[in-house]
Amino acid sequence: MEVLFVIIIIFALVAIGVKTNNNIAKKPKREYVYAKKACVMTQHELIFYKTLLEVVNGCTIIPQAHLSMFLDHKVYGQNWSRAFSRINGKSVDFLICTNDMKPLIAIELDDNTHNRPDRQKRDIFVNSIISDANMPLLRFKAGEWNSEIIKQEVARALKESTLEK
């Protein structure tokens, strides 16, 4: 009887050990899978970025800059968490800064999505708050610009922005 009891205990321990090893060996199931993008910009953004490089000598270009990166939402007298929630998740396509990272110009490339009513409402809001912050915001219709116009507009805005500082 004792032998049978010992065999049952050993069998139970082996079964528990096998089950535990199977659980350890399994990778946790992920809900989503991610892959590295081929490029961090769209084709239009990349072409535009390369054009910007030709005109912003001595400046830094930040793609997909969140508004909270360059607009201060902690203004005296307002609820900072509500102010932050209004801009959280919103970005401009490019932000041009001095080399010591002082924001100079925000740039938006307006593709076809900017024709949607929700995007138009968002654009009006972004235009308004960037204007209130006394910062230039340049808008270019994606794919319908030429590099000389971009260079002229950005150079003009840079000159005006640095004169104000």
| pLDDT tens for each residue of 60-109 | 999 999 999 999 877 777 887 888 888 888 999 999 999 999 999 999 99
User: Would you tell me how many other CB atoms lie within 10 Å of the CB of residue 30?
Assistant: 7
How far is the C-alpha of 49 from the C-alpha of 118, rounded, in Å? 26
Q: Where are the domains of the chain?
A: 43-164
**Is the pLDDT assigned to residue 22 strictly greater than 60?**
no
User: How far from each other are the two terminal CA atoms of the chain, in whole angstroms?
Assistant: 93
> Percentage of the chain with pLDDT > 90?
48
Among the ranges given (33-37, 80-84, 118-122, 132-136), the one the predictor scored with the smallest mean pLDDT: 80-84
| pLDDT tens for each residue of 50-72 | 999 999 988 999 999 999 999 98
Give the per-residue pLDDT at 6: 58
- More confident site: 60 or 110: 60
User: Would you tell me how many other CB atoms lie within 10 Å of the CB of residue 12?
Assistant: 10
How far is the C-alpha of 61 from the C-alpha of 99, rounded, in Å? 9
How far is the C-alpha of 136 from the C-alpha of 161, rounded, in Å? 7
User: Would you tell me how many other CB atoms lie within 10 Å of the CB of residue 60?
Assistant: 14
**Is the pLDDT assigned to residue 163 strictly greater than 70?**
no
How far is the C-alpha of 96 from the C-alpha of 60, rounded, in Å? 6
Pairing of strands 137-141, 103-110: parallel
Among the ranges given (68-72, 111-115, 149-153), the one the predictor scored with the smallest mean pLDDT: 111-115
